[in-house]
A and B are shown apart, each in its own frame.
Chain A
């Protein structure tokens, strides 16, 4: 996956996940929203007939962590979850 950062500052960030679709974007959004320091997280995917392999993700935090840190933390929980399943099977 490649990313394309549209805008960024210490509290807000908007980026494109190129080559992805709802599969990963929705997953990331759900774990971002579980973070108490994230006040806004959403994603948008264009219509399939348009250039749709670029989900746009927007994140706003309350200032105690940067949006980049929020994404890293969401990924961390996600990866831990995957490890638990792998261990069980």
Chain B
């Protein structure tokens, strides 16, 4: 199996080109990233005072969805963290005002607006945060992952008459026409819309350009929501699949 890493300047995004694997392999990693990686989130709010324009449960809903930084080795048995907030209007209450009793578990960004308070309105609560999984609630979703088959674009250059219709038809502008050939620029941007094939068929009997998805080669992209870096997220997901395979091996082989 071959893996190629596509660099990015964002630590929350990783792209890979993976070869010699099956679709279920990349799909398993994708499913685990979306639903089974453990992260911290506020689960319950103990509200002491709330004279804001939103109901307690609406505020609890918003606070729960704020992503919290999660240390790497967290799992279901990790301890509960308490985050507290006290605010008096007139002001906008941001996630930066939340005070956590564990500095490693705190909102990923202080810029999430929780609620706006008018003059004299108060909000005071303690949030109990615990580790959970994306399959139980969106607050525990750690990120997104997606995969796409690697495109192969084949042009029959002997019969191509350089009419250029495919080049104009491509919505991603990846077919460039030069004096003697059609060149493919940045094949990974292809979305398999096959507009080029349709355009070619309109002026020739059959299409001279073919777009084929490669069965065993994928472009795999992981996007973390900020609870951990994309690299840590992918590593955690891979470890979870490893554990499943090892656990099965242990019980099968004894």
Contacts and interface: CB of A to CB of B under 8 A. Distances in A.
Interface of A: 1-3, 17, 20, 22-24, 26-31, 34, 68, 71-72, 75, 78-82, 84-89
Interface of B: 1-5, 14, 16, 18, 21-25, 27-28, 31-32, 36, 231, 234-235, 238, 241-242, 244-249, 251-253
B252 A3 contact: yes
Contact of B241 (A24, A71, A72, A87): A24
A84 B231 contact: no
A83 B231 CA distance: 14
Nearest to A71: B252
Nearest to B22: A30
Nearest to A86: B238
Given A3-B252, A84-B3, A24 B244 contact: yes
B241 A27 contact: yes
A20 B23 CA distance: 18
Contacts of B28: 23-24, 26-27
Contacts, number: 84
A23 B134 CA distance: 14
A29 B253 CA distance: 18
Contacts of B32: 23
B3 A72 contact: no
B251 A2 contact: yes
Contact of A88 (B3, B21, B244, B251): B3
B104 to A, nearest CB: 23
Contacts of B36: 23
Contacts of A68: 252-253
Given A20-B244, A72-B249, A79-B245, 14 more contacts: A22-B31, A23-B28, A24-B244, A27-B28, A30-B24, A71-B248, A72-B253, A81-B25, A85-B3, A85-B18, A85-B234, A85-B238, A88-B5, A89-B234
Nearest to A3: B251
A65 to B, nearest CB: 13
Contacts of A20: 244
Contacts of A84: 1-3
Contact of B1 (A30, A71, A75, A81): A81
A34 B242 CA distance: 19
Nearest to B4: A88
A30 B215 CA distance: 13
Contacts of B234: 85, 89
B253 A31 contact: no
Contacts of A78: 25, 241, 245
